Amino acid sequence: MKALPSIAFNEFKGSAGDVTARVSKGRQVLSARSMHSSSKTPAQAVSRNRLAKISRSFKKLTDEQMKAWAVLAEKMKGISTFGQAAELTPHNAFVRINSNLQMVGMPMLNDAPAYINDVPEVLYDDLWISPDMIIFTGLQQPSESHVLVFKMSPALSPGVSSGWGQTVIITPGMAPDWGDADLTALYTDVMGVVPEAGKKYFCEFYWMDKNTGFTGESMVVSAVCKESSTAYAQEYTPRARVTLNEVSESEGFESLDFELSHGSTILSVDASYSNNTGVASGGFTLKKPIENLPDITSWTLARCSNPDRNWFARPCLFTVWTSTWRGETEGTFAHRAGQYENEYVELFGSAPVFKK
């Protein structure tokens, strides 16, 4: 930037070529003109093409459909920072709703959906933003149709007071897993780096109804990246969970996933096995003990199938237990009630832990 006192430039205002002129404190100031980059990232190209397609689709609606979107737009008016109702045209409402739906892979709506003004805010127990993880616990998902939209900024200086304008979408729609939402890999995929200790991050998140495209109130959090949680400064303790990845050997297990939810004694089971041992049970041994997995006894529902697996007509009840002895952890699903068929067994459901 260059300040020029010469009177030859006193009337020079605006832009010409790559130069912009203005008057500041009685002096003529010339600066390089800001030029918008014509390059687009693949993600930007996809987003712009999607918005353009949605916008063009609005013109193909019937008069009745446009009237319905006009009614919806009137109801969707937001409130600005200054308390004034923000105008929303039928076209804006159409693009907003359908861009939300397209973002989560749902088809576009030509007919305006029924207005919903009660999409709940995001309630959760705690949030960790550390170099190793970005994870919510205790997320209360309103229903199966509600998914979490999460935006986050890149690493910023701890002294930055507002970085909301730099947030980007990390996930357009995630369903929590037993109240947990692990965003670590998603953040790394989008940003290309892991969170940096000591840096500040700005987050925005809200629920979206994937059937209608309506969103709830945005919640915002800013925090410095550290090992402890943002709400209660607690260390993160992962759920006690066992899958086939942790198993060294098993008696015919084809799938295995059971876990204890955070802060409770409820066991969730999703497993299947088949064997021809003649024993009404299935067992497994872990590669190594899991630190937060106690010795437990619980129950689970099950159903058995014929060898061809084309029908399930034999409901059963199984007991579940795990035990660790001399550094080796074993688990067993044992038949206790119902007609048993060892050709194929599916185990599923949730139940309290009776012994721990």
pLDDT band at 295 (very low <50, low <70, confident <90, very high): very high
Q: Give residue 22's pLDDT.
A: 65
Q: Give residue 18's pLDDT.
A: 60
Instruction: Please report the domains of the chain, with CATH numbers, ordered by start residue.
Output: 2-32 (no CATH), 43-103 (no CATH), 126-224 (2.60.40.10), 240-352 (2.60.90)
- List Cβ neighbours of 248 (8 Å cut-off, separation of 6 or more): 285, 286, 287
pLDDT band at 262 (very low <50, low <70, confident <90, very high): low
pLDDT at 247 over 60: yes
pLDDT in tens, 91-104: 999 999 999 999 88
Full-model pTM: 0.70
Q: Give residue 134's pLDDT.
A: 96
pLDDT at 309 over 90: no
Q: Give residue 222's pLDDT.
A: 95
Bridge partners (DSSP) listed for residue 349: 269
Angstrom CA distances, 325 to 29, 45, 282, 289, 330, stand at: 79, 57, 19, 9, 8
Going through 195-311 in order, the beta strands assigned E by DSSP cover 200-209, 219-224, 240-243, 247-250, 253-260, 266-273, 281-286, 296-305
What is the sign, positive or negative, of the torsion defined by CA atoms of 284, 286, 290, 295?
Answer: positive
**Residue 146 token pair:** 């509600």
pLDDT at 81 over 50: no
Q: Given the structure tokens 């088809």, which residue do they identify?
A: 107
The phi and psi torsions of 2 (rounded to 5 degrees) equal -135, 130
Spatial contact of 18 and 32, defined as CB atoms under 8 Å apart = yes
DSSP for 71-93, written as a single string: HHHHHT--B-TTSPBPP--HHHH
pLDDT band at 2 (very low <50, low <70, confident <90, very high): very low
Q: Give residue 8's pLDDT.
A: 47
Q: Give residue 80's pLDDT.
A: 43
**What average pLDDT score do residues 317-334 get?**
93
Average per-residue pLDDT for the chain: 84
**Residue 126 token pair:** 């705690």
- List Cβ neighbours of 189 (8 Å cut-off, separation of 6 or more): none
pLDDT in tens, 171-228: 999 999 888 999 999 999 999 999 999 999 999 999 999 999 999 989 999 999 999 9
DSSP secondary structure code for residue 34 in this structure: P
**Residue 220 token pair:** 């915002």
